[in-house]
Amino acid sequence: MYSDIAINKKRSVESDFSAKGKIVSLLNFLEEYLPKFPEIFQKIKEDDEWDLNEALFSFLDIYSRNFAFQFIPEYRYKNKSKPDFGIKEVKSDQTGIYIYDQKAEHFFDIECKRLYDTTKSKQYVSGRTGGIQRFKENKHGVDLNYSAMIGYVETKGFEFWRKKVNSWISDKKEHLEMLETHKIAKLKSKHKRNMNKTSIELSHFWLNFN
């Protein structure tokens, strides 16, 4: 289904985000491949967040197999305390072949939210399953310095949703900063955790299904 996308393991473009090492490798992968997803997956009106996550996982799982990380579909367990995707490090043996490691480090989380309704989409920030709120509460991205959110933009445009999401965040220091808009929007934000003095930087990737 996705054979028309060439896999390129090398990128000379540096990430816009401040992380380093394996996290930058992951972010570069997302920057490279996420713009392809809305072009291939033809969303229908009936598709909900579960359907979008299922399709996105299949897409990312295929193209991450030549990289040193693995996507874990946490959303399948329907556990509201877990993010939609966890990412673990994949190690290789002396021949360079990736091997299974039960103790592989879980180093990144991704939470996905639909941006389609000016009331319901407030879950991107807060509420019973609020995305940003769960990172602030250390329920997602537990003790991690970096994680990400993916927004499925189904109505309006990127700038509309940036302003709307920021209107739901009371602390202006935590507002989403727009980095780039092209096929997708790339944004970033930094949030203080509620329970301690640590903070987490979030990379936001918004996909256009409008």
Calculate the average pLDDT of the chain. Answer: 86
Helix (H, G, I), strand (E, B) or coil at 129: coil
pLDDT of residue 180: 93
Backbone angles phi, psi at 68, to 5 degrees: -90, 40
Q: Which residue has the higher pLDDT, 84 or 210?
A: 84
pLDDT band at 6 (very low <50, low <70, confident <90, very high): very low
Give the pLDDT confidence score for residue 13 in this predicted structure: 34
Q: What is the pLDDT of residues 162-186, one digit of tens each?
A: 999 999 999 999 999 999 998 999 9
Going from the C-alpha of 133 to that of each of 18, 173, 183, the distances in angstroms are 22, 15, 27
At 8 the pLDDT is: 39
Lowest-confidence pick of 3-7, 60-64, 129-133, 149-153: 3-7
Distance CA 106, CA 126 (A): 25
- pLDDT bin (cut points 50, 70, 90) of residue 67 is confident
What is the per-residue pLDDT across 70-127, written as a single tens digit (0 to 9) for each? 999 988 776 567 899 999 988 777 776 666 677 778 899 999 999 999 999 999 999 8
pLDDT over 90 (residue 188) = yes
List CB contacts of 41: < 8 A, sequence separation 6 or more.
52, 55, 56, 59
Q: Which residue type is seen at 29?
A: F
Instruction: Please tell me the least confidently modeled range out of 29-38, 52-61, 70-79, 92-101.
Output: 92-101
Helices (H), the chain: 22-33, 37-40, 49-63, 131-136, 158-167
Where is average pLDDT lowest: 3-17, 23-37, 129-143? Answer: 3-17
Let me know how long the chain is: 210
pTM for this prediction: 0.86
% of the chain at pLDDT higher than 90: 64
**Whether pLDDT at 4 is above 60:** no
Domains of the chain, by residue range, sit at 22-208
Q: Which residues, listed in sequence order, are joined to residue 113 by a DSSP beta bridge?
A: 151
